[in-house]
Amino acid sequence: MTPRFSIVTPCLNREATIAAAIRSVQAQGRADVEHIIVDGGSTDGTATVLAGFPHLTVLRGPDRNLYDAINKGLRVARGEVVGLLNSDDLYAPGAFAAAAAALADPATEMVIGAAEFFAGQDGREVVQRVLRGPRAVGLTEANVIGNVTAMNAAFYRRTLLDRVGPFDIRFPLSADKDFWMRLVLAAPRHMVLPATVIRYRAHAGSLTFAAGDTRAKLAQHLHAAARTRLAELPAGTPAHAAYRRWHAWAVGYRALLLLRQGAAGAAWRIASDGFAHDATWPARFLARLPGHWRDRDARSGGTPG
């Protein structure tokens, strides 16, 4: 028997893109899909668009951030398998069928497919890159710390989500990374599929395509999340060791980013703060550099595997 799917879509003022996201779910051709939209209080025409899809479950009301909205949707989701779809992105054709086939084995707790990145250009869609295979999208610590975390390319058994716990809303820009790290530590039985599951849409304001000031802000939040977890977790545990490696990378990356911007004083303050939390962080940062350089082609969509 194939599992029932629940799809959770957080939404705020996405009148221009939400209908396409909904239709990408409908196009999967499955009747056993529950699609939950969590609208944080849209003031554009989003509500009118949603009214045109009576099959939706729509939750309305203010939320603290994106991940608070996702948690609200997860709390009411009834499906055995859960997917997370952004209101500006799309599921690829055949995504659910590929996931259902892999999840036919009841021991498999999670599947991860390929992620395609596209942009609109002159009225047509232009694919910018495709991330495929374990190095690019796999459930690995490396993909948490320094690579892409394609959580929307995955489908999760409900039982796994219950075991890992909700998104931590203290981290408004980095809760996805923290969630992925907790998944890594949970070590679920999972499969990486060759099929494309998610299509990320490039546009101004998308965190998936963070650049410039947004990238610097994201680096700050990733550093803060790692530092918070490092202080909370008991020393000597696998979780503490993992977040210690994340913290070291976050400190080094952020300090180098500030140096490139000509902010040497700020870079030194970040490095000094890193020493206060972990005196050996530079060694851990340097230990990760070879793997980070090795994975450049995978992050760019150049080489699968």
- 21-25, 43-47, 146-150: which has the minimum mean pLDDT? 146-150
What residues have CB less than 8 Å from 299, skipping those under 6 apart? Answer: 131, 136, 147, 148
Q: Which domains does the chain have, with CATH numbers?
A: 5-208 (3.90.550.10), 210-299 (no CATH)
Element housing 284 (H / E): helix 281-294
Give dist(CA 283, CA 286) in Å, integer.
5
CA–CA gap between residue 178 and residue 28 (Å, rounded) = 30
Which tokens is 93 given? 């054709």
Q: Encode pLDDT of 288-303 as tens digits.
A: 999 888 888 877 776 4
Q: For the beta carbon of residue 296, count every other beta carbon within 10 angstroms.
A: 11
Instruction: Name which of 48-52, 95-99, 118-122, 204-208 the model is least confident about.
Output: 204-208
pTM: 0.92
pLDDT, one tens digit per residue, over 46-55 is: 999 999 999 9
Which residues lie below 8 Å from residue 58, measured CB to CB, with a gap of 6+?
36, 37, 39, 50
Q: Can you tell me the distance from the alpha carbon of 54 to that of 37, in angstroms, rounded to the nearest whole number?
A: 12
Q: For 234-249, what is the mean pLDDT?
A: 97
Nearest Cα neighbor of 208 from 131, 274, 139, 141 is 131
Residue 205 pLDDT exceeds 90: no
